[in-house]
Amino acid sequence: MILFPADTLERSEVERDYRLEFEGARAAGFATALFDFDGLRRGEDLDRVLWRVPESLRGEALIYRGWMLAAPDYARLFHGLEARGWKMVNDTKAYRFGHHAPENYAFWQQWMPQTAWTTREEFEHNGFAPIYEVLKAFGSSPVIVKDWVKSQKHRWDEACFIPDASDEDEVRRVVSRFLELQGEYLTGGLVFRRFETLRGDGAGQVFEWRSFWLDGRLLSLTPNLVREDEPDLETVADKARECPSRFFTLDFSQKDTGEWVIIEMGDGGVSGLPSGVNIDGWYRKLAI
């Protein structure tokens, strides 16, 4: 079964952004169910949040496809579904692994740009000192900043790209703006990644391929722009089979040197399908 968020207004309908996925899932033979996403986030009673979810008598597998959830909310969803007999393919530990950059960096490190992080608590107690401290590892290289889950990539110069990791004024300017934009939605803390020069269309768009994996098997590999080349995934695929998440994404780009890098890992339930993907075909693959 695939679980989707219900629409906020039309509660018996799937959230509109997931309509095509909902239809694709049904066409591929999946059972589907809806739940009250906002209610879950507000901490409402699970019986209300999940009242449309039927019980599973045989402990069947369930895949969540929907918006990102904070880890504690995911944990409540997991337990609520478990009480109804469903087993989410990713338990909360696996969700955190895929969703939080600091948890998965060591696992994919050989393909990822150098990465360092701080926690929100460190910042709240000690201000910028712990940030300057972790940034020492990058010397005067450029880095990008994000939280443990998301960046402000659409505000690149203002809140994402730091031209020189050793320039404390620049660090403070970009990080302050990033924190201001994230506000209460800041997840975990800050992540810094060494900036790499990546291949793109020359007009400001970097080429990026999103891959989905289920139980170590590649489900899809889709570029953000029309491309004929694609990353060689042979060595990554070996590693993917050992991954502590059953359902996840990896985004790839190519350095100007030709080397492929993993830009980020994501949880398979809450990562968007790329616009170039054939949704019905994707759900048919998922169903195999």
Ligand X SMILES: Nc1ncnc2c1ncn2[C@@H]1O[C@H](COP(=O)(O)OP(=O)(O)O)[C@@H](O)[C@H]1O
Chain residues in the site for ligand X (CB under 6 A): 113, 144, 146, 150-151, 153, 193-196, 198, 206, 208, 251, 263-264
Shortest spacing between CB 147 and ligand X, in angstroms: 9
Q: Is 202 left (phi over 0), alpha (psi -120 to 50) or beta?
A: left
- Closer to ligand X at the Cβ: 15 or 264? 264
Shortest spacing between CB 220 and ligand X, in angstroms: 17
- Closer to ligand X at the Cβ: 14 or 159? 159
- Closer to ligand X at the Cβ: 86 or 97? 97
| Cα–Cα nearest to 265, from 222, 216, 213, 226 | 213
- Closer to ligand X at the Cβ: 15 or 196? 196
- Closer to ligand X at the Cβ: 130 or 200? 200
Residue with nearest beta carbon to ligand X: 151
The HSE-up count of residue 80 (CA atoms within 13 Å, CB side) is 24
Shortest spacing between CB 39 and ligand X, in angstroms: 26
Shortest spacing between CB 198 and ligand X, in angstroms: 5
- Residue 33 vs residues 2, 12, 22, 244, 279: alpha-carbon distances, Å: 6, 10, 9, 26, 18
Q: Are 223 and 260 in contact (CB under 8 A)?
A: no
Shortest spacing between CB 121 and ligand X, in angstroms: 22
Shortest spacing between CB 83 and ligand X, in angstroms: 32
Report helix, strand or coil for 39.
Answer: helix
- Closer to ligand X at the Cβ: 34 or 236? 236
Report helix, strand or coil for 243.
Answer: coil
| Cα–Cα nearest to 147, from 94, 196, 101 | 101
32-35 and 2-5 beta bridge pairing: parallel
